[in-house]
A = this chain, B = another copy of it.
Amino acid sequence: MSFYEKLKFDADGLIPAIIQEHKSGRVLMMAWMNRESLEKSIATGKTHFWSRSRKAFWMKGQESGHTQNIRDISFDCDGDTLLIQVDQAGAACHEGYQSCFFRSVEPDGGCRVTEPQLKTPEQIYGKK
């Protein structure tokens, strides 16, 4: 029985994929996959997603070089969320942080940045 039969894609054919750094356990990002991007991810060993805003496939690191090599793919009890362990090259966040979750909520209702910015977006993507 293929594991695909245990997955539930939503009405738009999408499933959220949580990306976790294998060596550190740091949750790096969350993005969306459809069946084809999941198949591409498995076939290539690198994460591929579906952009809901651009309605296009994208491989993580395609522009930045900050690719994700897949170590493990798991899915939850309801089959409606993926958890993917990766080896992350460079910063996962397009803003230059290791993780997209670089801000935490403060008791006063504000927020604070919790990790250093490794690069600026200009350093990653060049001046636009």
Contact assessment for B72 and A104 in the assembled complex, using a CB-CB cutoff below 8 Å: yes
Taking a contact as CB atoms under 8 Å apart, the answer to whether B110 and A3 are in contact is: yes
Instruction: State whether A2 touches B110 (Cβ < 8 A).
Output: yes
Q: Which of A1-45 contact B (CB under 8 A)?
A: 1-4, 6, 16, 18, 20, 24-27, 29-30, 42
User: Count of A residues near B, CB < 8 Å?
Assistant: 39
Q: Is the CB of B105 within 8 A of A77?
A: no
Residue A89 is within 8 A (CB to CB) of chain B in the complex = no
- The answer to whether A6 touches B111, judged by C-beta atoms less than 8 angstroms apart, is yes
B18–A109 CB distance below 8 A: no
CB of A58 closer than 8 Å to a CB of B: no
Measured CB to CB, the residues of A under 8 A from B are 1-4, 6, 16, 18, 20, 24-27, 29-30, 42, 72-78, 81, 83, 93-95, 97, 100-106, 109-111, 114
